[in-house]
Amino acid sequence: MRSAPESANVSAGPRPFIRAQTDLQLAAWLNAAGESSYRASQILDWVHKKKAETPHVCTNLPASLRKKLASDFDWTSPSVEIECGSLDGTKKLLLRLRDDRLVETVLIPASPALYGAPSDRLTLCVSTQVGCAYGCRFCASGLMGFTRNLDAGEIVGQVEIARRLAGRRVDNIVFMGMGEPLANYDNLLRATRILNEPWGLGIGARHMTISTSGLAPRIRELAAEPLQIRLAVSLHGATDEVRERIMPVNRRYPISELMDACHEFRARRKQAITFEFILIEGLNDSIEQAELLARLAGPLQAKVNLIPYNTVEGLPWRRPAVPVLKTFLNILKTRGIPATLRLEKGHDIEAACGQLRLKKEMHRGNDKQSAL
């Protein structure tokens, strides 16, 4: 099992993010700086509870320590480049990172609420990478290729920005934004810990879901972690033949290997795994696929989330007609599989994975062309 290093590297490269520091790391840094380690909890309180954006506001810390905190750590969070609201209350943010890269974060209220109206629960869909190396044929993030992993501080920073904007706590986190979370394993795990700890954001592990395209060895690794985070597997095909057409990762980890890893995960957890299944017209929406999907989900007691394909500009796929979606759903239900047809939120603001960034980058490309 890998674990995040417990000391902040403050000597090389850009300054580490204060939001990526654990209590032990901060204590080690304080010791090295000749300060008392009890200050760690005061600093974390300022960062996560009082939402300080600079150490200069931390009035119970000595001025000399505030100075060191400013010079050794980056206190910034990503900045909001574009904010769009959807009529159903979903809000999508395009965020700018410190190296000017862009990622997306989506705020999803639980109950349909008009813009600005209160809702009971707030779910946040966060990104874990800039772009994605896995190249799924239906996905806007995959289209643009991989740029880099997000730092744990940038993952936590997305939650920070969202709760500031929403003016309330974030209840659920889904790692379903841009990127493959399990390909950025150490940063992901460190971020989940900071999000979970009482000295951090205090979000229960059961209120966090990691979505993966099916990195089997990493699923096994995750199964051995103490935090009881939920798992969603993007299946999108019930046979290798169909899955391979849209998900190159299936050649590396075919369905049988992926299912073995899911069974291992399931054996160690109380909560059910969720299979995500995008329905694409003429590709994976047949009765046969529905029946085979039920055979995969049944023994695992997995839940199935059916998602009508969200059109991406430049890609050839289409969503099936509503009766086809309903037939698919009913086949699963009659075979005893807990299944839902997700009427995705935020369709009108292009909330599906990577689409807003794709547009923005395309505009950038156009600007460049026209400037030549």
* Residues designated as active site: 104, 353
Select from 98, 83, 89 the least CA-distant residue to 164: 83
Query: What would the x/- binding string for ligand SF4 be over residues 135 to 154, using CB under 6 A?
Result: xx--x-xx------------
Q: How far is the CB of 167 from ligand SF4 (least distance, A)?
A: 30
- Binds 278: which of ligand SF4, ligand SAH, none (CB < 5-8 Å by kind): ligand SAH
CA dihedral 201, 206, 210, 216 (to 10 degrees): 130
Select from 150, 225, 161, 160 the least CA-distant residue to 193: 225
- Binds 352: which of ligand SAH, ligand SF4, none (CB < 5-8 Å by kind): ligand SAH
Provide CB contacts within 8 A for 121, sequence distance 6+: 109, 110, 111, 171, 172
Q: Which is nearer to ligand SAH, 47 or 162 (CB)?
A: 162
**Residue ranges that bind ligand SAH, judged by CB under 6 A:** 138-139, 176, 180, 211-213, 234, 276, 278, 307, 309-310, 312, 352-353
For position 353 contacting ligand SF4 by CB under 6 A, the verdict is yes
- Of all residues in this chain, which one has the CB nearest to ligand SAH in the complex? 310
Q: Which is nearer to ligand SAH, 26 or 352 (CB)?
A: 352
C-beta atoms surrounding 78 within 10 Å? 24
Q: How far is the CB of 128 from ligand SAH (least distance, A)?
A: 8
Q: Retrieve residue 169's tokens.
A: 């706590």
Range list of H helices, the chain? 23-32, 39-44, 63-72, 140-143, 152-166, 185-196, 216-223, 240-246, 249-252, 255-268, 287-300, 322-334, 355-371
Q: Which is nearer to ligand SAH, 8 or 139 (CB)?
A: 139
Q: Are the beta carbons of 288 and 331 closer than 8 angstroms?
A: no
- Binds 17: which of ligand SF4, ligand SAH, none (CB < 5-8 Å by kind): none
C-alpha to C-alpha distance for 345 and 343, rounded to whole angstroms: 6
- Binds 309: which of ligand SF4, ligand SAH, none (CB < 5-8 Å by kind): ligand SAH
Q: Which residues bind ligand SF4 (CB under 6 A)?
A: 132, 134-136, 139, 141-142, 179-180, 213, 234, 353
